Every structure is written in structure tokens, then in C-alpha cells.
Structure 1
Amino acid sequence: MKKAWLLAAVAAFALSGAAEAKTLKWGAGREIASLDPYSFGETFTLSVLNHVYEGLVRYTGDLKIEPALAESWETVSPTVWRFHLRKGVTFHNGDPFTADDVIASLARVSDAASPLKGNLPAYKSSKKIDDYTVEIEVDGPYPLLLNDLTNIFIFDKKWLEEHNALKPTDVGKGVTGYPTDHANGTGPFSIESRQPDAKTILVRNQGWWDKPQHNIDRIEFVPIASASTRVAALLSGEIDYTNVAPLQDLPRLKASSDVKVMQTNELRSVFFAFNLKDQLFESDVKGKNPFQDIRVREALYRAIDIDAVQKRAMRGLSRNTGALIAPAIPGYEPSQDERPPFDLNAAKKLLTEAGYPNGFSFQMNCQSDSLVNEEEFCQAVASMWSRAGFKPNLSMAPRAQQTPKRTKGDFDVLSFGWANEPMIDAYSLLVQVIHSRTGTAGVFNWGNWGDPKVDALIDKAGVELDNAKRIELMKQALKLVKEQTLFIPLHQQPMAWAMRANVETMVQASDNKPRLWLTKLK
């Protein structure tokens, strides 16, 4: 089967004319987690795999929802949505796309073992009406199903069955399967070859159902963790594009006549989260957890000089925030964006009042290849906390090493970034991160920071169809979270893309997702 795909790709490449074939060399800041889009709820991996797999609906370049594998839909009751599927669509291996594929995919992604089940929090069941009609039932009136479905990609049921892959994989738990290293979607590009941590080759799907706006025949995806190496590769022409242009190198890149830079602030908010279990993971305090005392959490908050973090670690390009969501996200409240002023003496006083005049040690889990300048801002904050009397032990490592620790709760403080995708709504953060772990809620609640009052507000917001009332409920939930200092917000991180002059058009949306099917090369 794989050989047939490769032969088809080679034939298509030859027909387009090897001399005229257009290749985009993409130098990414890190590797994707897997070729299986259900293996981990991580935006970057999903954004790359969206070139291979597709959902029933999708976001446009200006973040509006439009039809994809579903041509149209309607609600037949407050809890049932009917989707009319696109006819004539085929998977990359030639199998036809039908309702059976949708049913199998929804069962796989909503499986109790699926790391992505939190991306479909209201899903209850689905059924086939005919080969091109599917009904999806949610567990109550729910206004965000279409938003959720933008990142629920559809698999080929027959392909899953052939490879014993109807059950999901899980990168965080080391559970792999055939889809971990193989792919078969309906998207604008198919996987020609893959060498993990080295290079993944995508080639144009000549049989894509949509009318292509791109003219790319081949994408060479290469993870380049070193920022300096990535910049050198772009300036020399070894790569054509990077979605992670290092902030410290933007002046140098802008000065090159061969390079273009696109820059804005991302939807993603960055914050610190606490281990609020009964005991810390790695500390000289035994038998209790100091972070359960709000005075300790407030001391940590007060000890951060956010202006210094922005100026030094983020090169003045981040947006300081006291809120957990960006202004563009429904649920944002300007009054919640205010931060307590930096006050080292106040931090020390709070720490003493809490019974820790000499501070205490704890482990701080950060990742070297995830958030923008994460290593730098974590080091800066660790230094500030030390000056307040705390004894942070900074654990800095690639996400491949840190993710399993995070999912198991083996941390005391961790850096966290959340873009509220695919919902583009505060409910995403509230139900997946802040809510207590129950059913599909709280999938990313790794530190036991849930609160019954907050949970109740989130649950009400999840079934409220009046949008104004729903947003007010979310604001109330976020207000309680802020009042309890359950998290320490830092900033909305900057996003900077850089590309060679041969990249003629590139669409940059604030969700920081490359959409190379909208890109043209000269």
C-alpha cells in the first residue's frame, strides 16, 4: 500500500514537471509529537497535520468557520446536529470518504483513553443516517460544537481497521500505533516520507477536493531546535520559511533584503500553574503543600517584575497581562487584566506571614522547545523568586521529557501556554485546564487546582445558548480564579514568522497556525 502511495506521488511530481516543481523548505522550531493528530492535544502538531488531515469544518485565514468535509449542517433538536458530507472526496490511499469514517473517527477521539477527548467536551454520540449524512448528539444545549470540530480530523475507518488502530495512541503515556508513523488523510498534502527529528516530506495531493490557492508541490518540514542555526539556514537559503523567528534576531532578519518578517501577538496566553495536591513533588517541606496557602501564591505573583521579564526575556515584544485569556477571546474582561504591582518587600512579608520566613524549595518545570523564549523567561522568574526568599529548582528540558512528568503531576510549578484553540473562546481554557477532572473536563488539570464554585459556573456556561449570558458566566468563573490566584499570568506571547523573498503570499492569523494551502511561491 505504502509503495503505491509513493509511486502515485512520484508520478504526480513528474507530471507537474520536475524543473517547475515548487518546494517550500520549512524550518520549524521543534518536531511534531506524532503523525497521529489524536495523540496529544497540542496546537503546533495539529497545525502541521492539518495539511494532511481535515475536519468537517475549518477556520479560514481570518478565523471564520467554513465548510470542509461537511458541506452543510443544521440542528434538528437542541442537542442533535445533522451534517451533510461532501461527496467525491477520497483519502490519500484512494479510499472514498463516507459517514462510516466520521463515526469511527468520533469514536476514536472521544475514547476514554484519548488525549484529545477534551477538545470535544460535549460529545455524547453519533449515528449514520446514510452514506453522506451523520448526526452528532451532544450532552446538552451546546453552542461551540462547530468550533470544536475544526480540530477533530477525520480518519479512514478501513485504514484504521487494516492496521488495528481503532483505539487512540497517547504520546504522553508512550502509547504508539500504526498512525504514529503513518498518515492517510484527505488534505491538500500527503506524507511521502518521515524521519522523526530529521525531516518529513509532504507532497501535493493532486486529487484534493478543494480548489487549491497554493502552488506548492512539495514541503520539506525540518525541525531545527537551535535558534541560531535556524536563522543561519534562513539567511543562507537552506530553508524558505520558519514559523518561529527568534525575537533576538528579528533586527538582523529585517535587515536582509532576501528575508521578510511577519509579526504580531498570538492568542496564546502564558502563565504559571501550581501543584495544589496535598504534598509538593520535590521540596524540603514535607507533609503539607505551601502552595495551598493563598499568601504563598500571592507572594510568588508579587515577586515577578513583569516589565523586566518583558524587556529582557521577551525583547519588549510580548503583551503583559493579568488575565488568562487574550483580549480577542470571548470571555475577556479588561478589569481582570490588571496585575498586582511588583513589590519584593510585600512578597517577603506574605511569605513570612504564611510561616516560611526562610522560604522553601520546589521544582519548576519549564520546556526548552515549546513557548517563545521560555527558557529565558523561566530563568528570569526563577531568579526573581530567589530574591524573594524562595528556592526554586529550575528543571529545563525538551517537551518530550517534560510532558510525561506534567501529565503525571510530577512538578511543583510549571510554565503553561493556552491559545483557546480550536474554540477561540474562554470555555476552552475553563473546561480543559481550570475545571476539575471529571469525564472530558479537566484533561489538562495536572495540579488539582479545580474548585467546586468555578466548576459550577463552567458547567452552566457549557449549556447556555444565550451568548451574552454564557460570556458573563465565563467572566464570573475567571474572576474567582483570579481572586484565588490559582495561576500567575505573564503575557500573550509574540509570534514572528520569517521567510525568503521567494514566498510570495503567506497568511498569518493570530492563532499562529501556518496554512500553506493558502501560500504561493514565486
Structure 2
Amino acid sequence: MTRYLARQIRKYALTALLLGCTTYSYAGKQNDTLVYASDNEVENVSPYHNNLREGVILAHMVWDTLLYRDPKSGEYKPELATDWKWESPTVLLLHLRKGVTFHNGDPFSADDVVYTFENIAGPNTASVIPQSVDWIDHVEKVDDYTVRLHLKQPFPAALEYLAGPTPIYPAKYFQQVKLEGFSKAPIGTGPYKIVKIIPGQEVDMVKNPDYFKASPQGQPKIGKVNFVVIRDPEARVAQLMTGQVDWIWRVAADQIEPLSTMPNIAVKSGETMRVGFLDLNIHANGPTGMPLKDLRVRQAINYAINRQGIVDNLVRGGSQPVYSACFRTQVGCNDSKVIRYNYDPAKAKQLLAQAGYANGFDTDLWAYRDRDYAEAIIGDLRKVGIRARLHFVQYSVMASALSSGQAPMAFNTWGSFSINDVSAFTTPFFGGKGSDIWKDSELTAMLKKADATVDPQQRSEQYAQALGRISSQAYLAPLFSYSTHYAFNADLNFQDWPDELPRFALSSWK
């Protein structure tokens, strides 16, 4: 071990001690316990009631969906549904798997599918991701193991959604305990079951011994998996180095190389579907928000940010500049009509002067993660005269500030819930509901039409129009794709994927 690394271990271990971080001595192969750490807590472990990436990870471990998308081939495979058939462009018939039980022993049946989609996940429920099923008009129970999904209109991405953010809940149990009780003691049919929740700190899971043998995921191989919240990045590295946790991500790019030289740690890096962007709030209140109502100011912000510089110096690992409101591999992500706002500080200053802000202005920028990225953005804005103060808060606080008009700008990220379709990006933000702070009726109509178009070429052209409008109105400043840097116990077999979904149910010890 180099002297540098020895100093780093002492430094990070001391940091963890001073921060009062919990230690997890039960981590590792010896105890058959994978402890993974992240910087964000899940306010509610119920997948339909949080929209953080950490919640998506938990969802795929504890709950099953009707279909399963193979991360290697992209092929849709049977999971809780054994087969499916389109009876018409708006009617999908699915036969369900028999013999599957929830973690409490309740049998899985068509009643659970109907109740999940109509009472838990729908737009008139407490779900924070209504777009996951709002393309469904209603669900018909044909018999105990057959359901028929009736769509509001054709929706080409239906199978992708059924393999993604649509976990099936236990109807009988949920009706007994309600959402509050379910959040404290959730159950699913997945490869792991939750045995302990400490809000804001920890979620403990154990292997489901009754997981159905025909699952396309196979049987879970690690006995226990614990999710822990460690907000400080240096403390996360410290606990990985000292063996108190087994897996961390969002590691700073400049720490990857030194970590890679440690014999007990493995590292991986790769570009993901997650996109970082600025929300530019046209309805922001007060003097700090007024400038954002002017299109020229929003365009100036787009020109002011050095995307390539942030990619090269901060994100690294395969990240690329992004100029459109989608990730390039998503079906329908046609950027042919998108304005490419290249880094041009002079152009930004010119636009600001035309808008009446030759001397710049004071404003606010909100963020909930990646403080160094947010500070780099603020540095670029300051160079053209936009003096932004940083408000670094939890995601829910930032989202509330955006919707209320308190936040003029917000550094946001979106991983599309790992759905490889443009609708998973555009519709949540511009579909007229949820996170749509712009409420552009023309744009919403464009997306509604594109979402329902079956012909691939026509669909692509329609999304091109919608993406072009988002760009021409500069509602966003798309910035870069994320590359995620992972560091983990060298005893762990771990595969990373571009959809930014760590599949711990597929992991094993060496």
C-alpha cells in the first residue's frame, strides 16, 4: 500500500469517526452480508411513493413486475406474467404465474394486479409517479390468473413500463395496513424481503427462501443485503476502505484511480442514462425569478455553461455533453430539431444585454446532490454576470420550491426510472402533471400525440417536434450524461449497467 493511500485511510477513517457514522462490522463475505451505502435516504420505501434512484434499487430487490427486461439482451421475459398478447392496439391480455406468494405467505393473483394499478399506482392515488400507469384506462380481471389491460390509447412503451416502475403489491395486506403501515413493514414477491427499517438510516433485507424458481432473475445468492445512508462522501470511502461497507457509488472521479490500487477494492466506471440539467422556471417569483421569464435570459444560461469542461474535469468516466431532454439511446430521442447551445460566454452576455441585464443579475440555484457540479455551474454563470446563490437541500424541498415558484433555477437529474423510451423523460416533466412546472399546453398536446403513435418513424418525428420546442423555449438547460463510479469489495461479483440500476439480486460472492 502506498503512503498516499495509508494517509487517505487514516484521513477518511478519522472523518467517519468525527461525523459519528455508524459502523457495519457485519459487512462482507464472511458474514454473507452485502452492505451498500448511498448519500440519499428514501423517505418512503414504497416504490410508488418515492422517486429517488435509491427507491428504484430497493423496488427491484423486494418487488416483482409482470414482465422482466433482460439487461443483457433487452428482451422482455415472463416474470409475474407467464405470457401476454395484444388483442388490439389498446387491449393487452396477460396470463399470470400460479404458485407465487408474497413475503407474508399471501398468494399472488389477479386481484393484486387490479388493486395495484387502480388503487395504489393510479393518478388519483397518493402515488408520486402517476405516469407509471396513467396510460392504463382500467384493468379487467378475467379470472384469478388472467387480466386484461385496457389502455386509454395506443402506448408503444407499454411493455417497457410493465417491466419497470410497476411493481405489484399485495392487495389484501395493503388494505389491512394502509400506506402508513405498508411503509413501515412492506412486502412484495421479490428475491429479498425487508426485515428492518430505520427511517433515514437503514433498510435491512434477507434472501427470500420461497422466491419462485422460474424467475428470469434466478435465485438470490447473497444471504443478507443492507442499505445504509452515509451522506458524507469521504465517510463512505472511509467505511469502504476499512471494510465496514461493501459497495458505494457516486465516488468522486479523482478517487477512482487511487482506490483501484487497493487489493481489497474493485472499481468500475461507465456512462449511464441519467442526465443532469437545469430547470429554468418561467413562473419563478420575486426579483430573483423575474429574469427567467425572458426567453433570452434562459438561452443565455444555456450558452453560459461549459458542458464539456464539466464532463472532462468533474464527471469523467464516459460522460458526454447533452443538449436534448432525453438520453440518446432512448427510443424516440430524436434531436434533429434541438438547438445545440454550445459554450459561448460572449453570446450569453449579448443575450443578457438585449434582455436588459447588461450588468447581470442576482438569483438562486437549488440543488439536492453533487454539490461540486452545482458549484461549477454557478462558476460558469458568474463569468457572464449571473450571480447565483446555492441552496443545497433535500430533493423534496427542491421539488417543492420549484412548484411554488420559489426556485428560479434547480440543478436536477433524471434517470428515467431506467426506462429506455423517450416518454419516460419528456412526459413526467412536460406532460401537464407532476413535475411539469412550465404547463405549456401546446407542448403537452405534442407529447400526448407522440406517446400514442404506434408507427416508429412517425413517433420519432413527433418527438423531434416536441424536443425542438423544449429547446427553442429553453425550458431546460440539458448539461451532461452521468457516468457512475462504483467502488466495492473485491470479493463481490458486481455488474454495472447503463440504466443505472445496480442489480444486487444478480450479485454473488467470489
Range class of TM-score, shorter chain:
0.7 to 0.9
For residues 417-446 of structure 1, give each alpha carbon's deviation from its aligned partner in whole angstroms, at most 9, with x where no partner exists. 1223343111122211123x2xxxx3211x
Counterpart check, 1:130 vs 2:143: yes
The amino acid of 1:156's aligned partner reads P
Counterpart check, 1:87 vs 2:98: yes
2:446–2:462: 8 Å Cα contact kept in structure 1? yes
Question: Which residue does 1:141 correspond to in 2?
Answer: 154
Deviation at 1:346, TM superposition (A): 2.2
Cα distance in 1 for residues equivalent to 2:357 and 2:407? 20
1:319 counterpart SS class: coil
1:302–1:341: 8 Å Cα contact kept in structure 2? yes
2:462 pairs with 473, 477, 484, which one? 473
For residues 337-386 of structure 1, give each alpha carbon's deviation from its aligned partner in whole angstroms, at most 9, with x where no partner exists. 77333232322221111122233322211113xxxxx2112111112212
Cα distance in 1 for residues equivalent to 2:483 and 2:467? 23
Deviation at 1:396, TM superposition (A): 1.1
Cα distance in 2 for residues equivalent to 1:462 and 1:407? 24
2:374 pairs with 338, 355, 378, which one? 378
2:39–2:230: 8 Å Cα contact kept in structure 1? yes
Deviation at 1:318, TM superposition (A): 2.6
Structural mapping, 1:170-209, within 5 Å: 177-209=180-212
The amino acid of 1:281's aligned partner reads N
Which ranges in structure 2 are unaligned for 5 or more consecutive residues?
1-28
2:45 pairs with 31, 35, 39, which one? 35
1:282–1:362: 8 Å Cα contact kept in structure 2? no
TM-score (norm 1): 0.86
Cα distance in 2 for residues equivalent to 1:515 and 1:477? 33
Structural mapping, 1:159-308, within 5 Å: 159-165=173-179, 177-210=180-213, 212-277=218-283, 280-283=284-287, 289-308=290-309
2:484 counterpart SS class: strand
For residues 376-401 of structure 1, give each alpha carbon's deviation from its aligned partner in whole angstroms, at most 9, with x where no partner exists. 12111112212212232211123254
Distance 1:307 1:366, change over 3 A: same
Pairs aligned (count):
475
Counterpart check, 1:72 vs 2:72: no
Cα distance in 2 for residues equivalent to 1:377 and 1:196? 28
Counterpart check, 1:118 vs 2:128: no
TM-score (norm 2): 0.88
Question: Which residue does 1:50 correspond to in 2?
Answer: 60
> Among the aligned pairs, what percent are the same residue?
25
1:140–1:463: 8 Å Cα contact kept in structure 2? yes
The amino acid of 1:27's aligned partner reads A
1:320–1:492: 8 Å Cα contact kept in structure 2? yes
For residues 71-110 of structure 1, give each alpha carbon's deviation from its aligned partner in whole angstroms, at most 9, with x where no partner exists. 1111122211111110000000000001111111111100
Question: Which residue does 2:71 correspond to in 1?
Answer: 61
1:261–1:496: 8 Å Cα contact kept in structure 2? yes
Structural mapping, 1:350-389, within 5 Å: 350-368=351-369, 374-389=370-385
Counterpart check, 1:97 vs 2:108: yes
Question: Which residue does 2:392 correspond to in 1?
Answer: 396
Cα distance in 2 for residues equivalent to 1:408 and 1:159? 36
Distance 1:308 1:422, change over 3 A: closer
Deviation at 1:131, TM superposition (A): 0.5
1:484 pairs with 454, 458, 473, which one? 473
Question: Which residue does 1:13 correspond to in 2?
Answer: none
- Which sits farther off after the overlay, 352-361 or 226-235? 352-361
For residues 419-474 of structure 1, give each alpha carbon's deviation from its aligned partner in whole angstroms, at most 9, with x where no partner exists. 23343111122211123x2xxxx3211x22x4343223212212211122112211
Cα distance in 2 for residues equivalent to 1:210 and 1:234? 33
2:297 counterpart SS class: helix
Distance 1:27 1:43, change over 3 A: closer
2:42 counterpart SS class: coil
The amino acid of 1:125's aligned partner reads H
Deviation at 1:266, TM superposition (A): 0.6
2:167 pairs with 153, 156, 163, which one? 153
- Which sits farther off after the overlay, 126-135 or 404-413? 404-413
Alignment root-mean-square deviation, CA? 2.1
2:95–2:146: 8 Å Cα contact kept in structure 1? yes
Counterpart check, 1:515 vs 2:506: no
For residues 252-310 of structure 1, give each alpha carbon's deviation from its aligned partner in whole angstroms, at most 9, with x where no partner exists. 11111111112110111111111112xx334357xxx3323221111111221223322
Distance 1:481 1:396, change over 3 A: same
